[in-house]
Structure 1
Amino acid sequence: MLNNSTTLVKGIGNEKAKDLEALGIYTVKDLIEYFPFRYEDYRPKEIQELKHEDRATLIGTVQSESTVRFFGKKKSKLSVRILVGNILLTAVFFNQHYLKPKLVVGETVTLTGKWDQHRLTITVSECKFGVLDSQGYDPVYSVGGNITVKGLKKMISSAMEQYGQIITEILPERFLTSYKLIERKLAIYKLHYPKSFEDAKHARRRMVYEEFLLFQLKMQALRKFHRENSGGTAIRIQKDDVELFISNLPFPLTIAQQRVVKEILRDMESPYRMNRLLQGDVGSGKTVVAAICLYAAVTASFQGALMVPTEILAEQHYHSLKGLLEPMNVTVELLTGSIKGKKRKDILARLQSGQVNVLIGTHALIQDEVVFEHLGLVITDEQHRFGVEQRRTLRNKGQNPDVLFMTATPIPRTLAISIFGDMDVSTIDEMPAGRKPIETYWAQHHMLQRVLGFVEKELKKGRQAYVICPLIEESEKLDVQNAIDVHTQLQQFFTTYQVGLMHGRLHPSEKEAVMKQFSANEVQILVSTTVVEVGVNVPNATIMVIYDAERFGLSQLHQLRGRVGRGDAQSYCILLADPKSDVGKERMKIMTETNDGFELSQRDLELRGPGDFFGSKQSGLPQFKVADMIHDFRALEVARNDAVELVTSEYFWTSPEYKSLVMFLEEEGVLAGEKMD
């Protein structure tokens, strides 16, 4: 019944149903679950309770004749004296001169508007004659097109009257009791018609938990069936060899690295296919973790593959992994688009015969001609840079190999357990000992000469610098520094140094060439757009200048800052910004206060919201009706733990108490073998 079309609700014809569809309302269920996004508080206040510029509702009596002044063609200002309690104040109405005849001395009025404490004035947005008859809480809905708030309220009211009685409970009794949640029917009613703030709060709390539990049940069920149907291989790791390899490393592992290595190796040894995300801040030591896991696969006679987004990053990984693995008799090879002819054929032949143990490369790894003898572990670095199909193609090069995704973009736990709910997440949340924190400063544009003087001091020590700009060329719309102009200016300023230019419009081979020149110190200053954000390792670069820094999010600023501080010398990040907004100022302040990527990503999430955190292209973010992943984070954690417990237990699938939740999973197609990548 609740899945019926909205046209079966009294007063809704085909025309209105079409208008509702524009709001995403197709069924009766959609309509009664279209909840207010906030409530207007119309409870009358005492003047003593109010602060300057509060929005307030006051009840008083008209004490004087009203006066009207006209200005401009259609503008007017009406003023009248009102007695509220024992305080005489002025009520001001803009462009509502038609109310003059109704404002009779002695008449009781209920006024809602903005309170000016200094002038004892209320600027009225709404006026009702007599005392309010409502409960004082008015729901506000998101509307658009031909749908007005008044019209929508009428339709919801009609739907609740007709169908409200058949709303059924979906949560098991044990959760309602242990979390003190009100029943579903009452929660929906109270969200639309709260009599008090407490009413709305309890109703919302119940629906938040329900939304999170249903979402997490879906994720955990997908994960369960994904694991059971993935037909993974139990890799019999030679633990003594792996421990020897770790003890021979040139530095001790941090506690966080030890923890994630244990988590990953445990997955590799299980009969299920690993599907794990390894996240760690820039410089936290993900590469050495990857080396240990690749070596572990090799000890069990499997091959490993590491796919990265760019050739220069592939070469970097190749050199560091070769240095670590070759002393242990592991053959490491590099395969990129630049490797051609006889050398390429030789690598491919040795890979197919099993003589190459570890292959590192770009998306060249997923071409048809690349055949592994016995692929056991696939690692994808900066996995968000590859499409789903590219990752799947590499995975299909073996018999359900274990898969490890790595990212240097710290994802707040809030988002990690929402987006990657069907994936295990390992986090390196500790930096190696002895690493110097990058000193970060915020400077305004008028201080540019001083900033460039500071850059010159570093260059004289033989160091190198990055200069980042938001745009490639000049834009009439945006008054921000662009890379081409800045490149020209810096060439004129630093006449004795080489200034390079890199941006997204260059051909990949041109980008590679510029980066190689910078890596080899043939270019001392690299002017670039954000294309250097991921993966480049130039230990000699100690200074990062970011023009118009307020235009970037915190996570992106942190990623850019992480390009320096990779050697032994002290490194610096200078944010050039004249932020107009409070959010911009807050970002600059936070950047100068902390180097912790996880703290920054959480603060970024709070400032920007989850939709903007990943940019508009991120489609994996769940859409909730009332729940908010940031503010309701504790409820999200509880719901996730409950979902894990239910899905992994026998009683959930068989007990009548959970029938409605199992039916939900059936309706969502989870039990029919749908799965996420």
Structure 2
Amino acid sequence: MPRPELLFPLFSELTKLPGIGPKGAQAMAGLGVERPRDLLFTLPHGVIDRRLKRSVMEVQAPAVATVEVRILSHDAPARKGRPYRVLVEDGSTRFPLVFFHARTPWLERHLPVGERRIVSGRVELFDGHPQMAHPDHILTRAEAGTLPAHEPVYPLAAGLTAKAMRKAAEAALDLAPDLEEWIDPHLLASKGWPSWRDALLLAHHPEAAAELGRDAPARARLAYDELLAHQLTLAIARQRERRRGGRSSKGDGHLRGKVLAALPFAPTGAQTRAAAEIAADMAAETRMSRLLQGDVGAGKTLVAMLALLQAVEAGGQGAMMAPTEILARQHLAGLAPLAEAAGVTMELLTGRDTGQARAAKLARIASGEAGIVVGTHALFQADVAFSDLRLAVIDEQHRFGVAQRQELAQKGMATDVLVMTATPIPRSLALAQYGDLDVSVLDEKPPGRKPIRTAVMPTDRLDEVVAHLARAIGEGRQAYWVCPLVEETETIDLTAAEARARQLQAALGAEKVGLVHGQMPHAEKDAVMARFAAGDLPVLVATTVIEVGVDVPNASIMVIERADSFGLAQLHQLRGRVGRGAAASTCLLLYQAPLTPSAERRLTLMRETEDGFRLAEEDMAMRGIGDVIGRAQSGLPRFRVADLEHQAGLMTLAQREARAALETEFAPLTDRGRALTVLLWLMQRDEALRLLDVG
């Protein structure tokens, strides 16, 4: 499907625009601008009122003013380095134009004594009197028409002037064609949005600060266009995946019934609802692609196990892939009692399996004797063959690429895929990142989970904390002690952790304190974790390697040192390591005074709520989307206009519209289908266009 000709000018070289040479194009690359199309979506972030005023006294300094003046005199500096002053008068006052490092002939030529000029620039007060340093514009009356009443202010990069950026943006706007409307006409009317080209013209020529806001009709429309193209891409991928056909894995419920009967508690409403959604997906003839999102301790393991058992009931196998060996072994430990209750054979496969032991495991997997297989990346190695893999469960999806997810799914025929994450994701992020998946959310805690008491204390009370810890371990309790991220280098973090471990060993007894960190050999780390899990080690000092997934029900104390240096999501994950057993649990956040306002806000929120979804939204509001995503979730799209932090509503709307358009009227032959195809080309959604071509 070739790019429509009417878009060719927008995808031409930047150097074809007037005034932009190779150096200018290189400078624009610093803004991520490589084509005229990119300039269209690089919107002004400010606007300067250049309307003519009678006098500089009409503005409240510091502010920009445009006034007509008569030049009275030039005062060249007697000494080098002093400012050059040109005295002028407007309609009601006299004031100086100030120039540093000035060239006298240039000033005398552009500001001749006795003549009138229009000057526009920033007015500031000096000793209570107005002055204008280095006016932005000096114009004759004949040139006054070239000054816009409202001048847009664009982002700049090194080597790029404001004037060059404005000129380039105007040239790009001249290339923007009138395009057929791709937004549903009822939605367009109800929102009061302008057409695409009018939206561009309005957004690039704001006349007031209100027009720079994300809710201004022109900007909201352009943001929606980006989100619609993104959701359309995800919807096409989702539809294509479903069209590849699935297999019904209905099951008769006899294995699930055994597990539910053996549980010492009733599942929560959220678990029952999520399990039913997954069961319906698996029973359908289309392929399942679902995200199971649950807060710390919300009970994802049970829901995943019910799905795995449904695959076995249907005559096939289920596999669960975890990002680390510790997590894989923990999943095995959590699932084993349930598998035993159902009478299903489980197998663990990791990179550590070698030789005859590995060959025996592979044989049990290939024959179907192993109904459920838990493992790491080792699961999708070439020599791993399943008898009939019907369900692939991927834990902590953001640690795996989409390609890896598909590799595991390809081990079976039309395999259903369930993706799990224990990191609560704000709704807008979930839609942006997992919009091709259907989403089930576990937003209730299982019965019997006691609330965790969270306390905040300065580090200068460390001795009290250690004394309290000594009493607690004397009563048979266990504790985590998490050391801070001192520096970006693991070596310095490690030194701090080792020093803290030695200090605690001296106070509590050497045999009572263990240490784990990211640089330890796997076997050594696993051995320390195993001693802690078995209850043989009362205190575990750790760097943040214990953040995700470690489950030791007897551990009821979590001390986080320099909690002020951690983000909200990380603090919440760490706190979730306790509160898993019968004992009342405590999380102690130690901070270094004085606290910054944002650190104080984070610690206050931690004390106020255990709701991971609320904390995730607050985290995004406080830190911005980039920091929240971090490297772990770098698959998130980058938008030029849309603001995921504040436009979740638009994203939801875009998903609904995209899915509806695809199901009802998206055929490239219809008017709207053609228009939506142009939108995909405009937004460089080549992958969606490729799928349409082959689909």
TM-score when scaled to structure 2? 0.83
Measured at CA, do residues 316 and 172 of structure 1 come closer, stay the same or move farther in structure 2, by a change above 3 Å?
closer
The residue aligned with 2:34 is: 26
Q: Which among 436, 448, 452 is matched to residue 438 of structure 1?
A: 452
Once the 2 structures are TM-superposed, how far is the Cα of residue 224 of structure 1 from its aligned partner?
Answer: 0.8
Answer yes or no: is 1:145 the counterpart of 2:155: no
The within-5 A match list for 1:185-224 is 185-200=197-212, 201-224=216-239
The answer to whether the Cα contact below 8 Å between 2:81 and 2:101 also exists between their aligned partners in 1 is: no
Aligned runs of 1:503-522 on 2, under 5 Å? 503-522=517-536
Cα distance between partner residues in 2 of 1:599 and 1:554:
10
Deviates more, 1:599-608 or 1:471-480: 471-480
Partner of 2:613: 598
Listed as ranges, the matches of 1:73-222 within 5 Å are: 112=122, 137-161=150-174, 163-164=175-176, 169-200=181-212, 201-222=216-237
Is the alpha carbon distance of 1:114 and 1:601 closer, same or farther for their aligned partners in structure 2, counting shifts above 3 Å? farther
Equivalent-residue separation in structure 2 for 1:612 and 1:647 (angstroms): 33
Provide closer, same or farther for how the CA distance between residues 41 and 262 of structure 1 changes in structure 2, counting only shifts above 3 A: farther
**Partner AA of 1:29 in structure 2:** R
What CA distance in whole angstroms lies between the structure 1 residues aligned with 2:548 and 2:490? 29
Aligned residue for 1:289, secondary structure, equals: helix
Q: Quote the Cα distance in structure 1 between the aligned partners of 2:101 and 2:454.
A: 54
Select the residue among 257, 278, 299 that pairs with 2:292. Answer: 278
Residue 560 of structure 1 deviates from its aligned partner by 0.9
Residue 361 of structure 1: how far off its partner (Å): 2.4
Specify every segment of 5 or more residues in structure 2 that has no aligned partner in the other structure, as ranges. Answer: 1-7
* Deviation, structure 1 residue 351: 2.5
> What's the RMSD between the two structures over aligned residues?
4.2
Q: How does 1:502-651 map to 2 (within 5 A)?
A: 502-578=516-592, 580-616=595-631, 618-650=633-665
* Residues 652, 585 of structure 1: alpha-carbon distance in 2 compared, 3 angstrom cutoff: farther
Pair 1:670-2:688 in alignment? yes
Where 1:565 maps in the other structure, the secondary structure is coil
Q: Indicate the SS of the match to 1:482.
A: helix
Q: 1:92 to 1:256 in 2, by over 3 A?
A: farther
Task: Please give the alpha-carbon distance, in whole angstroms, between the structure 2 residues aligned to 1:114 and 1:569.
Answer: 65
Give unpaired runs (5+ residues) of structure 1: none
**Gap change, CA 1:512 and 1:370, over 3 Å in 2:** same
Identical aligned pairs, as a percentage? 39
Match of 2:280 among 266, 269, 276: 266
Contact 1:4–1:28, Cα closer than 8 Å, also in 2: yes
The answer to whether the aligner puts 1:298 opposite 2:312 as a matched pair is: yes
Distance 1:351 1:477 in 2: 41
Question: How big is the shift at 1:47?
Answer: 13
Q: Is the 8 A contact 1:187 1:207 kept in 2?
A: yes
SS in 1 for 2:537: coil
Asked if 2 retains the 8 angstrom alpha-carbon contact of 1:311 and 1:512, the reply is: no
Is 2:338 the partner of 1:324?
yes
* 1:146 maps to amino acid: G
CA distance in 2, matches of 1:620, 1:601: 18
**2:383 is the counterpart of 1:383:** no
Cα separation, 2, equivalents of 1:76 and 1:434: 76
TM-score of the two chains, using structure 1 as the length reference = 0.85
Residue in structure 1 matched with residue 474 of structure 2 by the alignment: 460
Do the aligned partners of residues 28 and 614 (structure 1) sit closer, same or farther apart at CA in structure 2, a change above 3 Å counting? closer
- When residues 92 and 401 of structure 1 are mapped into structure 2, their CA distance, relative to the original with a 3 A threshold, is same
Equivalent position SS for 2:441: strand
Structure 1 stretch displaced more, 517-526 or 479-488: 479-488
| CA distance, structure 2, for counterparts of residue 76 and residue 455 of structure 1 | 67
- Which letter does structure 1 place at the counterpart of 2:14? T
Change (3 A) 1:324 1:476: closer
**For 2:197 and 2:41, how far apart are their aligned partners in 1?**
11
SS in structure 2 at match of 1:151: helix
Contact 1:93–1:123 at 8 Å: present in 2 too? yes
Counterpart in the other structure of 1:366:
380
How far the C-alpha of 1:484 sits from its partner, in A, is 2.0
1:5 aligns to 2:23 (yes or no)? no
Counterpart Cα distance in 2 of 1:369 and 1:240 = 32
State how far apart, in whole Å, the 2-side matches of 1:442 and 1:260 are: 36
Q: Per-residue deviation at 1:150?
A: 1.6
Q: Which SS does the other structure have where 2:439 is aligned?
A: strand
Secondary structure at the counterpart of residue 673 of structure 1: helix
**Residue identity in the other structure for 1:619:** S
Deviations 1:457-514 (A, max 9, x none): 3222211111112348897998998212222222222236521111111111121111
Question: Counterparts of 1:235 and 1:430 in 2: how far apart (Å)?
Answer: 28
CA contact (8 A) 1:418 1:622 kept: yes
- Aligned to 1:658, the other structure's residue is in SS state helix
The answer to whether the Cα contact below 8 Å between 2:251 and 2:313 also exists between their aligned partners in 1 is yes
CA contact (8 A) 1:56 1:115 kept: no
SS at match of 1:620: coil
Q: Deviation of residue 531 (structure 1)?
A: 0.6
Distance 1:448 1:287 in 2: 37
- 1:439–1:662: structure 2 CA closer, same or farther, 3 Å change rule? same
Give distance in 2, aligned partners of 1:301 and 1:567.
36
**Equivalent residue, structure 1, for 2:4:** none
AA aligned to 1:655 is T
SS of corresponding position for 2:411:
coil
CA contact (8 A) 1:277 1:405 kept: yes
May I ask how many residue pairs the two structures share in their alignment?
Answer: 662
Task: For residue 261 of structure 1, report the CA deviation from its aligned partner.
Answer: 0.6
Question: 2: distance between equivalents of 1:92 and 1:570?
Answer: 72
Residue 198 of structure 1, CA deviation: 4.9
Secondary structure in 1 aligned to 2:285? coil
- Retained in 2: the 8 A contact 1:472–1:529? no
Report the AA paired with residue 592 of structure 1: R
CA contact (8 A) 2:480 2:558 kept: yes
Which sits farther off after the overlay, 543-552 or 129-138? 129-138
Letter of the structure 2 residue corresponding to residue 187 of structure 1: A
Please name the residue that 1:315 is paired with. Answer: 329
Q: How far apart are 1:650 and its partner, in Å? A: 4.2
The answer to whether the Cα contact below 8 Å between 2:50 and 2:120 also exists between their aligned partners in 1 is no
Q: Which amino acid aligns with 1:417?
A: L
